[in-house]
Amino acid sequence: MVKIIFYEDRNFQGRSYECSSDCSEISSYLSRCNSCRVESGCFMVYDRSNYMGNQYFLRRGEYSDYSRMGMSESIRSCRMIPMHRGSFRMKIYERENFGGQMYELSDDCDSIMDRYRMSDCQSCNVMDGHWLMYEQANYRGRMMYMRPGEYRSFRDMGFNNARFMSMRRITDTC
């Protein structure tokens, strides 16, 4: 059973809320969330409601101060990342709506420019597994969680002017 505990204040202080699934609006339970503890599993946390805004990947551990994660405000929503056993496959496209160059990935890619000579990734189709996409090469910058499905435009997901330059499989024991 996966479990994350959110706390209103830093250092696990104040009221708390335990969660073992997706939660689109943590403010329904807490006035704010500035620290959390992942008891088991893996989660994506977001600084806006409905899984929008800046994202951060959390695995089992303690996160005593949300601001140290490199994001502003507080945690507003979370998504549980289910355990995936099996292959990983994702097609990345240079343009929105699956246009331009296309490449299929089955493992991590630290730079689409170096590997494929592709300067941009604006849509993708995740066929198998769960992935993290990063704005910069070498898994740096803002990240976006991708679960199986078609993603025609990252702009529609709230990532205006975002370019994803590296991708990593979520292989943690979540």
Averaged pLDDT in 10-residue chunks for the chain of 174 residues: 94 96 95 94 93 90 83 85 93 95 97 94 96 95 93 80 88 71
CB 89 within 8 A of CB 106: yes
Residue 22: which domain range?
3-81
Residue 22, CA distances (Å) to 2, 33, 130, 150, 165 in order: 11, 16, 15, 20, 27
- pLDDT for res 72: 65
Neighbours of 56 (CB within 10 A): 19
Do 74 and 100 reside in the same domain of the chain? no
- pLDDT for res 88: 97
Q: How many domains does the chain have?
A: 2
Report the predicted TM-score, pTM, of the whole model to 2 decimal places: 0.87
Do 69 and 97 reside in the same domain of the chain? no
- pLDDT for res 113: 96
CB 139 within 8 A of CB 166: yes
